[in-house]
Amino acid sequence: MSEKNLTGLAWGWIIFGSLIGTILTFLNIWLMAAYVGSFDNPQSLFALFSLMLTGIFIAYKSPSSTIYEPAISGSIAIILTLLLLNLFTGVSYNASQILLTQALAFQLSMLGGWVGEHLQSGERTKSLDNSFKFQWAWSVAASVLAFILSLSLFYISVAALKSSNIMTISALQLSEMLSFGVGFFAAGYFIGFRSPGKTIIEAGVGGLFGFCFIIGFWVVQREDSFTLETSDYYSLVFAFAMVLLGSWVGEFSEKNLSKNK
């Protein structure tokens, strides 16, 4: 799948990225719509971070340099996502909206490819330099992964609460805290386990970026009535603690696995 043809592009990864990116983006938009009650809302743009996550994965796993492949797959994925939304929900988009989402998808996917390449190169040079060097790519990966996972888990839990007819304020607040905790812990664990050397600081910085993404989402979602409630503070503090704990557990797991080999 990683072999390139005469065009210099790995079309296997482009096709794979287009399919995965479409599935993740469509799923996240669907979950957001189920929460806010509408498919035609500005916060759906945050689902495009799924394409960045896909770009990171493609560039990280592919053996050759694949920065343009994620960008192309992201552009294809957003077109397929918009077509699926129109097919299943009847929502239509004007030319300016399509161009905006296309541009954002291309840029975020290419940024994801850049991050993935840096993660890959960092893994290759693991044994060459043991001195501390802050690795921004792992922080970006942690922030995107934490953002996507925590919000996806939150929307899934909200759907479960609605179906169970226990949609109370306390249940919603508990669901938010647990979803953010699990999402940030998983992101921290991935960074700690897969990164070269100790990257607990990188995971912590990534957690702060993840907070910024979530707060930005809340600003768009709540519009003029945006305020951070007490439960929001608890959720963010708990999530930050969990991303640090996750990275520590990931580092510990990596060391034990290396000793057993």
DSSP structure string for 137-193: HHHHHHHHHHHHHHHHHHHHHHHHHHHTT---HHHHHHHHHHHHHHHHHHHHHHHHH
Judge whether 74 and 17 are in contact, CB under 8 Å: yes
- Res 135: pLDDT: 78
pLDDT of residue 4: 54
The pTM of the whole model exceeds 0.85: no
CA distance 54 to 81: 14
Q: Quote the CA–CA distance of 161 and 165 in Å, as a whole number.
A: 6
H helices then E strands: how many in the chain?
A: 8, 0
Token pair of 134 as six digits: 């802050």
Q: Return the ∠ at Cα 218 (arms to 215 and 220), rounded to 5°.
A: 115
Render pLDDT for 105-133 as a digit per residue (tens, 0 to 9): 888 888 888 888 877 765 544 445 556 67
Residue type present at position 199 = T
**What CA–CA distance (Å, rounded) separates 196 from 159?**
38
Average pLDDT taken over every residue of the chain: 80
Ranges in the chain, pLDDT < 70: 1-8, 35-44, 121-132, 221-226, 258-261
Say what the pLDDT of residue 226 is: 65
* Cα 85 to Cα 22: distance, rounded to the nearest angstrom: 11
Q: Are 33 and 18 in contact (CB under 8 A)?
A: no
- CA neighbours within 13 Å on the CB side: how many for 187? 38
Res 182: pLDDT: 93
